[in-house]
Amino acid sequence: MCTYCNIVPIEVLLRLSEDTSYSADVRRGLAETALVDDQLRKLREQARKVTRASAAVAPSLVALAASPVNSVFTCNNATTLPGLPISSPQTSPDQTVKNAFDTTSDVIAFYQQVFGRNSIDGSGMTVISSVHYGVNYNNARWNGQQMLYGDGDGAVFVDFTGSNDVICHEMTHGVTQHSLQLVYINEPGGLNESMSDVFGSMFRQWKAGQAVGAADWLIGGDIIGPAAARKGITCLRDLANPAAAHCIAAQPSHYSQYVPGMDPHFSSGIPNTAFYTAAMAIGANSWDTAGQIWYSAMTGSGASPNMSMKKFADRTRQVAAQIFPGNAVVANAVDQGWIHVGL
C-alpha cells in the first residue's frame, strides 16, 4: 500500500540506491531521499484529511483573492519549511528561484485561462514553493500545503524546477486534493498520479503551443542527470509508451496488468494511456477538448476519495456527451481510449 506523493516514486529511489554502477555518494543520497519522503508523506495525508473536513464545514468557499500570490522561499539546503522568503523571485539571480516563480506563474495562468480556475483550491489560495530543499534531495513534491523542490544530486537527477511539467504535476496534486480528494492508495492513488501526469504534460504542450502530434508526451525529461542519461534514460514516464525502456521505471498500460496495492506511480500508466489515446484520436490541442473533459471529470462533481478507474472512465464518457453534445468524434475517442486500456 503506497501513500507517497512525489514526482519520483520511492521504489525507484530505493532501486537506484542499490545500483552499484553509481557512486557510493550518489547511492547514499538516493537512499536518504527515500527516508525523508517516508516522513513527508505523513504530513500530506494529514493535510488531505484536513481539506476534506474543512470542505464539510464550509462547502462553498469564499474567494481569498481575485488572483493568487505566488511566493517562493529558499531552504538553503536545510529542511525547515517553508524556508526564507525571496522578496523579488522574478528577478533573482538564482536560476532555481526564478524557475520556480516563472513556471508557477505560468501554471497559475494555465489553470485560469484554460479552465477558469483561480489557483490550486479554485479560490485564490497563496501558492508557496520552497526550493533548495535538503542536500542532494532527489525529488519534488506537494506536501498538502505547498510545493518543495530538491536540487538533485547532479548525477541521476538535476534541479527539479528545471522541468516545467514537474512543477505543474506537483501543483495538480493540490488541485486534486481540493476537488476529487483522492486517497493515495490502490486505484484512486493511480488516478491521483495520472491527473498530475496528464495536466503536467498538457501544460507543457500549452506552454510550447504544441498540438498533440508534435508533443513528446514525456514527464520529467529535463530533470534526468548525466549518469542516468548515459544508461539511456530520458524521462520519468512516457504517456505515449508507458513501458518504454527509456523511462526510469516501466508502467503497465492495460487494466489487466493492475495489481491491488501497486504504487500509484506505476498504476497511473493505465489512465495515462487512456488520455493519450483519446487526445491523439481527437487531434489538435490536448487542452481544448480532451483536457476540458478530464478537468470537468476531476472538478465537477465533488469529492470522491475512493473513486475507481472504471468510475472515472465512465464519468469522462458522461462529461464528453455533456460538454460536446452531438460530437461523435469526441465521444468515440474518449470511449475507445478507455476501451483500449480495458476499461
Q: How many CB atoms lie within 10 A of CB 67?
A: 12
Average pLDDT over residues 22-48: 74
Give the separation between CA 34 and CA 333, rounded to whole angstroms.
39
Q: Could you tell me how far CA 48 lies from the centroid of its own chain?
A: 16
6 in helix, strand or coil?
strand
Q: How many CB atoms lie within 10 A of CB 303?
A: 17
pLDDT digits (tens, 9 = 90+) for 77-123: 999 999 999 999 999 999 999 999 999 999 999 999 999 999 999 99
- Cell digits of residue 343: 476499461
The Cα-based distances of 87 to 137, 171, 302 in angstroms read 24, 22, 37
Q: How many CB atoms lie within 10 A of CB 340?
A: 16
Residues found in the chain: 343
> So which residues are the catalytic ones?
170, 265
Q: State yes or no: pLDDT of 286 exceeds 80.
A: yes
Predicted pLDDT at 3: 39
314 in helix, strand or coil?
helix
Domain 10-177 has CATH 3.90.180.10: no
Q: How is the chain split into domains, by residue range?
A: 10-177, 186-340
pLDDT band at 11; cut points 50, 70, 90:
confident
Check: CB of residue 12 under 8 Å from CB of residue 249: yes
State the pTM of this model: 0.92
Q: How many CB atoms lie within 10 A of CB 65?
A: 12
- Domain 186-340 sits in CATH at 1.10.390.10
Average pLDDT over residues 11-32: 90
Q: Looking at this protein, which amino acid is placed at residue 137?
A: Y
Which stretch of DSSP H or E encloses residue 125? none
Check: CB of residue 293 under 8 Å from CB of residue 316: yes
pLDDT digits (tens, 9 = 90+) for 237-270: 999 999 999 999 899 999 999 999 999 999 999 9
